[in-house]
Amino acid sequence: MLDLLGVGQDGRLAVIELKADEDLHLALQGLDYWIRVRWHHLENLDQRSGLGEFQRLGYFGGIRLSGEAPRLFLAAPALRIHPATETVLKYFSPRVEWTLAALDERWRRQVKVVWRKRSG
């Protein structure tokens, strides 16, 4: 199940995958959700309206969703990001715009990003 699906001020969907502990599958799980969201939003368009499923079904009411692919955000405590995560991200297609956000270990009290890396 997808952790979070949001939309930015520019109308682009944002797939957000969160982990509390070290997990080798963080990047690939996020990619799997990104592919599914992209398909529902951009590939499965209604022939009459031209809208993807999210808008057709009333999600994000009042917001015009962008025709661009979603962004992918991966977040976990800094000391809990699996060492192989960045290696796996190197093999993602350039079409997947991703951000890896390392959170302060006290994330339960206050969410603070201590470092981030982005695709491209």
pTM comes to: 0.92
Confidence category of residue 64, pLDDT binned at 50, 70, 90: confident
Q: Which of 2, 77, 81 shows the shortest CA–CA distance to 34?
A: 2
d(CA 19, CA 85): 12
Domain ranges of the chain: 4-36+70-118
d(CA 45, CA 43): 6
Question: Average pLDDT in the 84-90 region?
Answer: 97
pLDDT tens for residues 11-63? 999 999 999 999 999 999 999 999 999 999 988 888 888 788 998 899 998 89
Number of alpha carbons in the 13 Å side-chain half-sphere of residue 103? 20
